[in-house]
Structure 1
Amino acid sequence: MLPTRAPGSRSLADVLASSAQAMRGERNALGLPAVAGAVVLLVDGLGAAQLGQRAGHARTLAGAPGGSLDAGFPSTTAVSLASLTTGALAGEHGLVGYDAFVPGHGVRNQLRDWGGPMDPARWQRRPTLFESTRSVVVAEAKHADSGFTRAVLRGAEYRGARALADRFALAERAARERSLVYLYVPELDRAGHESGWQSDDWIDALEELDGLVAGLVATLPRDVGLVATADHGMVDVDASAHRIVPRELLARVTDVAGEPRCLQLQVDGEADAVADDWRAWLGDGAWVATRQQVIDAGWLGEVHPEVAPRLGDVFVAARGRAAIYVDELDPARGMVGQHGSLTQDELRVPLRRFGAFA
């Protein structure tokens, strides 16, 4: 049975929203105290489980108060960052997967394939929190004018730099302006995808990050708070755990979206029948659910009628350490660290408080 989301449970959608409310002296879902300015650090790919198991390499992040919360589902960057910056879950903002169905236009990547029917001003349906609060986004310079940036970061002043240390320096200066500052760090996620989160490369990236966090915390004005969180966790998938979909299971599948840890299938025929066939093949290796079952489980929040057609008729969310591939020659099979599904290693992310939030 598909796990359900507890109504009212804390999620990534509460983080930036609570920080903005704290700047206005308002009560908020995270119970953050009133501050003059706030910094939200989003570390791509840093799950709560991974941080806990590598705490000795990240003493600043691991030792801070705050606990953890759910990133959201599917547990993937496009979905999570839109939830963070809009304060809404996927069923409301409309980014519903790494790859998603664009009605009448097929499957499109939600990070890269902007334009045409994926108009950034319309496809992401919600106002961002930056549009109502003086805000600065600090991220890699190359993304300053991307479609994804225009969709989920609109309303903020964008300040970019290539090197990680330079981005932290920009965030330090922005914090002194008493703005709402969003600092995005993708390096850890890249190391995880390429080498796995249990690799030396990942640990090296974590240690560098933790040192920069410690430096930023030490320079924060006394009336500025910082929260550190992530968009998803990660599992390392060995090639022996790759599941290649049998040809006969694809006979009634017209399109495949999502990613190997969470496929979304558009089908020709009854979704229940297709789901039954996939359950029979995967057994307890995956949660297989129809669109309505996923909606009923609450992970997407309220699903707007405009968003529903973007969802798969059937979701196939891997359990354990498996990844599911439609094509045996898929180049993505070279990726070690993966995410997208509902395991705690992917879904649960840290929430750590510093400065005036501590």
Structure 2
Amino acid sequence: MSLILPSESVAARSVVGVADDVFAALRGESASLPRAGSVVLAIIDGLGAISLRAHAGHARALTSGMAKKDVAHSVFPSTTAAALTSILTGVWPGQHGLVGYRVLDPARGILVNQLTGWESEGLDPATWQAAPTVFERARAEGRPTFAVGVAAYAASGFTRATLRGAEFVAAQTPAERVEVAYDLAERHPGSLIYCYLPEADKAGHRYGLDSVQWVSALEEIDAALSRRVPPGVGVLVTSDHGMVDVPVHRQVVLEAEHLDGVRHIGGEPRMLHVYVEPDADAAVVAERWRRDLEGLADVGTGQEAIASGFFGPEVTSAAASRIGDVLVVARGNGAVYDGTAADQRSRGMIGQHGGLTPEERQVPLLRFGAFAR
């Protein structure tokens, strides 16, 4: 079976449209959001709509007015590097080029980590991610822009690639970040404020979605966003992706024969980018993996995925050169590992994402303050 995108309603919203929604609301030109004097865009990393509804009792502020339609769809792959960049640029992964977690740098023939490897692996944030950010667009209109986040991320390469144009303001806890964001929005009319909340994602990866730690993180974020929104400020709350818990018995470790003709394996265990040797035939490799992983994963070539619109309606030459020759998407709550020592260390991660399940791709899209219905 080749890769097939899940069918979605033609009315389904995408996280790619969030940037345009925000700008239209600031101008009073949005068809979906009321006009707002300033906007706070709050991103709860790793919070899927299905998980949020399943834990509604621990997130009463977020779910109290949540309707069935208050969801959006993440991009493919459903991972932070791809999805958060799409939210903050308003374009698909095929345009901004961050097409996975670890991808091939074709100029050097090495895998690079698009979240944490910018400095160590020599990626230039200004050229590797060349799409204008929502903050650069806001600055061009003369609007104040701020990004409120964790201090450790202030000068990272990923921050410089995705938050260009925003003044970074560090705050320690979710409550402090939301408070700072709301204060900035109130003091700077016409401004765009980004507020990043990564606690649920971190807890989910380490402990799983039903853990005490994940529930505690959700409760802390919910309490932070329950505070009063200043008059005239519109708050849009969404996420880059959801996740699923991967039990040990659903972990698939590739055998040596699977790696025949394979040069690199990138991506992440829920969605692998497989790069074949120069003399290997990607279609042959894909067919072998498809046969061996039948029922466990869907397999297709990168060209098939591009032609089917997995990475968006337009794929630049730079983005295409980073996409695997073969793509492997784990089904259900499974994950596929390449068996190397480095890969084995990641097998302790419980909550994972990157695939095509509704749990990973459906995210909340919630409105507060001047945006509330």
Pair in the same fold by TM > 0.5: yes
The alignment covers a number of residue pairs equal to: 353
2:125 alignment partner AA: P
Cα distance per residue 1:220-241 (max 9 Å; x no partner): 2231111111111110011111
1:102–1:117 contact (8 Å) kept in structure 2:
no
- Give the distance between the partners of 2:116 and 2:96, measured in 1 at CA: 17
Cα deviations by residue, 1:257-287 (Å, 9 ceiling, x for unpaired): 1000000000122111111111111112211
**Which whole-Å deviations, capped at 9, do the CAs of 1:190-233 have from their partners, x for residues lacking one?**
10011001111111111111111111xx1x22311111111111
Residue 209 in structure 1 maps to residue 227 in structure 2: no
- Give the residue type in structure 2 aligned to 1:285: L
CA contact (8 A) 1:25 1:35 kept: yes
* Aligned counterpart for 2:287 among listed residues 265, 276, 280: 276
Task: Report the CA distance between 1:9 and its aligned residue.
Answer: 4.7
Does the 8 Å contact 1:244/1:328 carry over to 2? Answer: no
Q: Which amino acid aligns with 2:272?
A: L
Aligned to 1:349: 363
Q: Which residue of 2 is the match for residue 143 of structure 1?
A: 153
Displacement, 1:2? 2.6
The equivalent of 2:321 in structure 1 is: 309
Does structure 2 conserve the Cα–Cα contact (< 8 Å) formed by 1:111 and 1:148? yes
Residue 52 (1) aligns with residue 41 (2): no
| 2:244 aligned to which of 218, 235, 243 | 235
SS in 1 for 2:286: helix
User: Residue 11 in 1 paired to residue 19 in 2?
Assistant: no
Q: Which residue of 1 aligns with 2:194?
A: 182
- Residue in 2 that maps onto 1:76: 79
CA distance in 2, matches of 1:172, 1:104: 43
TM-score normalised to structure 2 length: 0.91
Q: CA deviation at 1:16?
A: 2.7
Identity of aligned residues (%): 44
Where in structure 1 do 4 or more consecutive aligned residues deviate above 6 Å?
Answer: none
What is residue 107 of structure 1 aligned with on the other side? 111
Instruction: Measure the CA separation in 1 of the matches of 2:264 and 2:12.
Output: 33
Structure 1 gap segments, 5+ residues each: none
Greater CA drift, 140-149 or 89-98: 140-149
Tell me if structure 2 keeps the 8 A contact 1:143–1:149: yes
Q: Aligned ranges for residues 121-270 of structure 1 at < 5 Å?
A: 121-133=126-138, 134=143, 135-176=145-186, 177-178=188-189, 179-215=191-227, 218=228, 220-268=229-277, 269-270=280-281
SS of the residue corresponding to residue 315 of structure 1 reads: strand
Aligned equivalents of 1:272, 1:10: Cα separation in 2: 33
* Residue of structure 2 aligned with 1:318, choices 327, 330, 353: 330
Aligned-pair distance for 1:344? 0.8
Equivalence for 1:288? 299
Asked if structure 1 preserves the Cα contact closer than 8 Å seen for 2:275 and 2:326, the reply is: yes
Deviations 1:23-46 (A, max 9, x none): 012235xx1121111111100110
Gaps of at least 5 residues in structure 2 are none
- In the TM superposition, residue 8 of structure 1 has moved relative to its aligned partner by 7.9
8 Å contact 2:146–2:169 — kept in the other structure? yes
TM-score by length of 1: 0.95
Q: State the alpha-carbon separation in 2 of the partners of residues 34 and 168 from structure 1.
A: 21
Measured on the aligned residues, the alpha-carbon RMSD in Å equals 1.6
Give the superposition deviation at 1:183. 0.4
